[in-house]
């Protein structure tokens, strides 16, 4: 009966999950905020009450609103911490940004991901070769 595993085996087992953890953490890194040229009401209307917008106010403050919509002269959505229904007068809005796909970030992320996975694989192979296996 085995009561404990060797430190090497635990380390190798933990390293097997590292690529998955990196991929999960990086899932959101392929997007970034984009500033459309359209006026704020049009940008929000194109969201159709889904997703998120980042509202940059004239006073320099920033607010991220989920499920945004334009009602009268305001942008309304769910924002803040804790989340609550929030509105911003259109007259106070400098610009509105939306989340979009970023090819440059995606390429960089893929290159870093494969470099890390390669280094892990080489390190595991060298460790197994130098240590005589994964006992």
Task: Give the pLDDT confidence of 22-50 residue by residue, as tens digits.
Answer: 666 666 667 778 888 889 999 999 888 88
- Residue 12 — pLDDT band, cuts 50, 70, 90? low
CA-closest candidate to residue 57, choices 32, 74, 81, 38 = 74
Same domain membership, residue 93 and residue 67: yes
Residue keyed to tokens 């919509």:
69
| Same domain, residue pair 42 and 80 | yes
**Domains: count for the chain:** 2
Q: Is the pLDDT of residue 6 over 70?
A: no
**CATH number for the domain harbouring residue 58:** 2.30.30
- On whether both 43 and 92 belong to a single domain, the answer is yes
Among residues 29, 8, 21, the alpha carbon closest in space to that of 111 is found at: 29
Looking at the structure, do residues 96 and 106 belong to the same domain, yes or no? Answer: no
Q: Range of 97's domain?
A: 35-101
Same-domain check for residues 72 and 53? yes
Same domain, 27 and 67: no
The continuous run of DSSP H or E covering 44 comes out as helix 40-46
Instruction: Say yes or no: 39 and 24 in one domain.
Output: no
Higher-confidence residue of 100 and 75: namely: 75
Average pLDDT, the chain: 81
Question: Among 57-61, 96-100, 110-114, which range has the highest average pLDDT?
Answer: 57-61
Residues 69 and 91 grouped into a single domain:
yes
pLDDT over 60 (residue 135): no
Strand order in the sheet with 62-71: 31-34, 93-101, 52-57, 62-71, 74-79, 84-89
Same domain, 75 and 122: no
Both 28 and 51 in a single domain? Answer: no
What pTM, to 2 d.p., does this model score?
0.58
Mean pLDDT computed over 97-122: 81
């Amino acid at each position: 009966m085995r009561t404990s595993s060797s430190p090497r085996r635990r380390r190798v087992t933990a390293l097997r999950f590292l690529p998955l953890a990196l991929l999960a953490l990086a899932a959101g890194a392929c997007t970034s905020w984009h500033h459309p040229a359209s006026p704020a009401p049009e940008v929000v209307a194109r969201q159709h009450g889904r997703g998120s917008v980042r509202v940059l106010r004239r006073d320099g403050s920033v607010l991220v609103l989920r499920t945004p919509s334009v009602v009268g002269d305001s942008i309304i959505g769910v924002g803040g911490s804790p989340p609550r229904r929030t509105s911003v007068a259109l007259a106070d809005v400098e610009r509105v940004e939306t989340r979009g796909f970023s090819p440059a970030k995606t390429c960089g992320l893929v290159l870093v991901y494969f470099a890390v996975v390669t280094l892990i694989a080489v390190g595991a192979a060298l460790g197994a070769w130098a240590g005589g296996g994964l006992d």
